[in-house]
Structure 1
């Protein structure tokens, strides 16, 4: 995990060849405040990180302060691949413990960086790799903390405008600030935080972040702009896409609920089977035909047409056809009406109970005697 410490520079001098030489306290024990995003805990606004003496003054840690590259501002990890582009100087070999601090010599060799120091950019921030253990605890002085450093190794030392260490991290008894170096208010026992943050405008929103966070945001914003990407347009499109998916899912849920309502119980299925069989049986009593694959209305219509012809249903409503079907079913199940059908297939008066046939026989009786 890469962390950034901070100190102030004073008691500086220039060499005959123009380099700037100084000594500085570059690390200390105690608690320092970090943004949760800086230490891999974005859910925590502030993390109180405790650096115990056994971690700060460990032999490996002390050796790692020597011969570290200096940079003008933080640039992440500094290594052999980018040293030539980033380094503006380096730390020396005489690393000393100074009470609760670590003191190192340093030399700034780049002319632009030297000018920045003389103009007031005098604070230093250590870039270090550390193993951080998250735990709630108390320092020997009774201060609460959220995490502690278990081991640490320096990567580089950066010149910055404002950093985490505060005014107490300086060389000598008198401060020698440049014209642009304001005093730093502190909190939580002298661990400044607000002065190490910047406000960056992102898509119309003010975001409070560190110098490193601001650099990352500005770099990403520039890359998007160079690619012709509008952040607001992307956000609006993303929001619209999510809303569309939500509507689609809501529609699917409604369809599922409707389908659930259409599912039949076993009793309902049995009733449907019985009703279907009864309907086909009635249709076959009118006209013996194949009624498979037809709806109920189609079965009734087919039976009526088979018995009476297409003209009987032409232009008629489903209710009319159902009524005609019921009449034909009634006729097919009444033996008297069946017996009284005329030769043309037309039914005579169903209410005469054979009276018309009796009268016809009486009227024609004389014809048989004349022969």
Structure 2
């Protein structure tokens, strides 16, 4: 018998023992049980402390069990994976808690009447009223801001990617970076200074201008990244056929990246929908319905939430209305994000088999 045949019959030494797939769940369950026991024994009343103890025990237990069964090298890999899971859960807990608290408190007064009526003559300390005027104001202000900010942002991104060269492009990029980080109150103060120079009274369109300033850098950055993903081969093929550059951008580049551009615009809308400071400075709020954003004070959902909570001292009605309006605003932002994801999937490039 040959040596190779004998060697083939020997068991492979490259395979080592490994933990079953359910072992992380078992370690996590055991860590929770031990953490609860430690918390009860030590008299710890906070569940946050129990969770931190369980997380530490989970990491230590993962390393101990994996090191004993699989070796230290594989144990280190499992510890890193455990740390990622713990970090994910720590980031998820505040989000879930926020949504749960908002839903729990917001459903108390959230009904069709609340969505179709304004505050009118209802005092903040009295029950009743609704957010119809705030919904109208938010939709008009955010809509006008989108009409202003989205085209300017897209065209600026097209210039930076397709035409931008030299000092002007570097200056535009620098100011876009600066605008990305400016506080919303600064944009509101800028528009307010222009209003004071013109001796204007608060009105909804002024808030739209401030929101457009906040929206533009977000649209520029997202659109710029989407345009950079378009393969240069598409541009070169179009130009080789004698198509002018502006027509190549209009007929090739933008249609190819329209899904990502639309998604970026939707996310920018979701970002400005919750701004309160510019609206407080420029729009002031109104208890009655005002469908004209170019004349008179208007209401908006973020401002309505702030005013109801600020006036909720000793009144559960205003407090409940603030939570119901918060739930409505979260639902609005969530719908925008879902629409953005749907558009991104719909307009994603189709790959053939």
Per the normalisation by structure 1, the TM-score is 0.19
Of structures 1 and 2, the one scoring higher in RCO (CA 8 A, sep 6+) is 2
Structure number with higher helix proportion? 2
Larger radius of gyration: 1
Structure number with higher strand proportion? 1
